[in-house]
Structure 1
Amino acid sequence: MDEHIVILVIALIVLFYGYISKGLSRLNISGPMVFTGLGLLLSPLGLGITQVEVDAEFVTIVAELALVLVLFSDAALLDLSLLRRSWHIPARLLFIGLPITVVLGTFVAGYFFPELPHTSLLLLALLLTPTDAALGKAVVSDPKVPKHIRSSINVESGLNDGIIFPILLTVVALIMSGLSEAQDHQWISYVGQQIVFGALVGGLVGFIGAKLLNKANAAKLAESSYQNLIPIALAILGFYLAETLSGNGFIAAFFAGLYAGNTSEAAREHIEDFAESEGELLVLVSFFIFGLAFAPMTLAYVTVDVLLYALLSLTVLRMLPVMVSLLGAKLDLSTMAFIAWFGPRGIASILYVLIVVHEMGSMEGLETVYAVVAVTVLMSIVAHGLSAQPLANWYSQRQKSASSE
């Protein structure tokens, strides 16, 4: 592997995409679609120009940093006052829909892959439960979509990966130790500790950081050109401080952004600028690496069962739990279906599977799991990328028609 060649290729692809990105968006061709496709083209599956080992340290670092910054910036752009008024939808998605998704995903995986142990089946369900709002960017950024619906999808995407992560690590530890099930209830306290400490540390970092920015601006101490660097620093600080203090870094990044963006208007503006440039770049680079390094590694293990489960993961296994969780929420069927469909699999699934590969040391025994994740993410990149803007337009028109009746 020549990392210099990879960096050069990434630079050329960024230039290429930058020149034609607006034209592609008119065709509903998203950035993740382009970068993943070019990664596949340059990989051993295509032209074979370069190759990257999936467990290379820099691959994990890029994906991890991308997820941290995406969580931070997405949360910062949420309206906390609106969230307080419409918290019931994301709460239903996270505390009813998410557990049902994991249980249903594990059960159905057992039918398709009976040769896998129960821990591997659970691992597969956990890897495919987190959602990625970035793959349906039009849905969470289009003002025609009601704000509380956009906010709900964004909050679910921001928090579900952080909730899943500590459970995922516990299951990986069980697999590596050769145990088929936890021997005590320590994992429950571990998960709770990760969530609570992550939220507290992240919230404090975001709140204090934003307050300091307000004071610096009031005293005219901060150069405006440097203030775009503050979001990066706060996101990374929240992540690593939480990890050091036994919290979950991804939950910390989300809460740091949530409090920073809702404490300082200046911070929110700079975070928005950052998210549209540097943050977007890291996300796209992660998808390129996914296409270049991870997807080719799994090709030999793709079967009909793998394809069927991946398709179910994006449809029934996602949509049914969400629809069940939203019963009684006083939402019409089109709204429930809209929220249920937009559960793309992207950065979180990519990062988590890279972490599993890194922790396990090899693919042995989990080849089918990795293949399912790769196929599901590839399907999601295309399906949700192509459908985001058309369905956002359809849904907004339907809501207008309903309100005028």
Structure 2
Amino acid sequence: MVAQLPPDGSTALDSAVAVVAVTLMAYALVDQRLGQTPISGALVFTAAGLLASEQVAGLITSSVGEHGVGAVLELTLVLVLFTDAMGAGLGSWVTEAPLPGRLLGIGFPLTIAVGWVLASVLFPGLGIWEAGLLAAILAPTDSALGLPVINNQRVPPLIRHALNVEGGLNDGLALPFVTIFLALAQEEEQTAGRGHAASVFLRALVASGAIGVALGAGGALALRWSMNKGWSSRPWQSVALLATATLAYVLADLIDGSGFIAAWAAGLVAGLIARESLAAAQQMPQDVAQLGVSVSFVLFGALFLAPALEHTTWTVVIYGLLSLTVIRMIPVAVSLCGSKVAPQTVAYVGWFGPRGLASIVFADLVATSGLPEQHQIVPVVMLTVGMSVVLHGLTAPWGARRYGRWYAAATARHPEMREANG
């Protein structure tokens, strides 16, 4: 006998599904047209979620959150982590463009450090690890929200490559910081036993990473061997990649590790081993991930951003704006010192660091962790992501065109400039 949802729960879920379906269908009819405007897909989906929220139209209520919304967000992030890591082109990173190394190796830790300091100042009620946790959650960027920046052919390949690799890998690099800071915050609040952080470190980083490496390597080698034999077709190769990402997540979760770290490591290793041979098979996982991201932003607008707007304070707004400007742009400028790129490039890379799905999911993990300070951390993250969706979405096409025009004029005068010789 199939279990039935209560009538009210069933109605709420049906209403939410209907809103998501209508939004996806409507966007599909005009996505090419909107691509010529400053209105991004994330902005459309977030706005639809806000309008359908309990606070506005009442079509998507908080009760929907009890029916697997967290699982949808988490599985979407798993696919995004896996496909981004697999497609980041890490092998060509070292030979083609050292800029991603600067952004990830210098800029990213500095972003967490600056965000940590400012969070401690603006939110004195947060403990030291809670402030670090907030900074780590908001450190990763989302390249999916900056596609006009990455895809614009007027922007030099060196810069597009750097932003693409940074956005594809920094969410994975944020995972250890988020995991450890959350464990330390719980231990500080005595919600976990002594030594909990060390145990989390071993399970989340070491064991989960090993699971991801093993599955990524094994899956990629098996698929490459099968392809060479002519035994597998492209659709099932795509299914195998989806299964690899999911299996890495589940196995790590079974040992109370980090399924996200496992999925990211699996994608990274699979990309290093067989990225070129599996390039065609990556398309379906990327499409599934993109669909999941679109659905996630509708849910974000309705279930996370709308409630956060009800509890917004000037301090939250100030930190959100600082996160999108000072906390991002100063570390980027420091990391690019000595790279010989122009100040215009530094400003361009520094501004276009949109926050997206990774920050949403990390904040949702905090919301379900039992951490007492979650009521301070979660609204800050959600409002910051909301501001990023609007500000980065509206400025991305304009910024890419303006930077592209500057680059064309600059290379005409100085063809030897760094941006033109990646």
State the TM-score, normalizing by the size of structure 1. 0.88
Are 1:280 and 2:290 an aligned pair?
A: yes
Map 1:206-217; keep pairs closer than 5 Å.
206-217=216-227
**1:261–1:268 CA contact under 8 A, matched in 2:** no
**1:90–1:156 CA contact under 8 A, matched in 2:** yes
Q: Name the counterpart of 2:379.
A: 371
Q: Name the counterpart of 1:293.
A: 303
Q: Name the counterpart of 1:253.
A: 263
Q: Name the counterpart of 1:89.
A: 99
The 1-side partners of 2:411 and 2:254 are apart by: 50
Distance 1:95 1:108, change over 3 A: same
**1:159–1:251 CA contact under 8 A, matched in 2:** no
Q: Name the counterpart of 1:383.
A: 391
The 2-side partners of 1:53 and 1:337 are apart by: 43
- Give the letter aligned to residue 376 of structure 1: T
Map 1:18-33; keep pairs closer than 5 Å.
18-33=28-43
The 1-side partners of 2:111 and 2:36 are apart by: 34
The 1-side partners of 2:201 and 2:138 are apart by: 18
Unpaired stretches in structure 1, ≥5 consecutive residues: none
Map 1:180-195; keep pairs closer than 5 Å.
187=197, 191=201, 194-195=204-205
State the TM-score, normalizing by the size of structure 2. 0.85
The 2-side partners of 1:285 and 1:335 are apart by: 33
- Give the letter aligned to residue 100 of structure 1: L
Q: State the shift of 1:28 in Å.
A: 2.3
Q: State the shift of 1:345 in Å.
A: 0.9
Q: Name the counterpart of 1:265.
A: 276
Report which stretch shifted further, 238-247 or 280-289. 238-247
Q: Name the counterpart of 1:40.
A: 50
**1:162–1:248 CA contact under 8 A, matched in 2:** no
Q: Name the counterpart of 1:145.
A: 155
Q: State the shift of 1:273 in Å.
A: 4.1
The 2-side partners of 1:376 and 1:82 are apart by: 33
**2:208–2:259 CA contact under 8 A, matched in 1:** yes
Are 1:202 and 2:212 an aligned pair?
A: yes
Q: Name the counterpart of 2:74.
A: 64
What secondary structure sits across from 1:47 in the alignment? coil
What secondary structure sits across from 1:265 in the alignment? coil
Map 1:160-179; keep pairs closer than 5 Å.
160-179=170-189
Q: State the shift of 1:374 in Å.
A: 1.5
The 2-side partners of 1:82 and 1:239 are apart by: 27
The 2-side partners of 1:240 and 1:152 are apart by: 31
Aligned-residue Cα RMSD (Å) equals: 2.9
Of 229, 238, 247, 1:228 maps to: 238
The 2-side partners of 1:87 and 1:382 are apart by: 30
**1:197–1:246 CA contact under 8 A, matched in 2:** no
Q: Name the counterpart of 1:397.
A: 405
Map 1:10-21; keep pairs closer than 5 Å.
10-21=20-31
- Give the letter aligned to residue 141 of structure 1: N
Instruction: Give deviations 1:245-270, integer Å, cap 9, x for gaps.
Output: 77643344334334434515352112
The 2-side partners of 1:172 and 1:214 are apart by: 39
State how many pairs are aligned: 402
Instruction: Give deviations 1:351-374, integer Å, cap 9, x for gaps.
Output: 00111111117xx54333222112
**2:108–2:139 CA contact under 8 A, matched in 1:** yes
Are 1:341 and 2:351 an aligned pair?
A: yes
Q: State the shift of 1:284 in Å.
A: 0.7
**1:260–1:268 CA contact under 8 A, matched in 2:** no
Q: State the shift of 1:124 in Å.
A: 1.8
**1:163–1:195 CA contact under 8 A, matched in 2:** no
Distance 1:97 1:230, change over 3 A: same
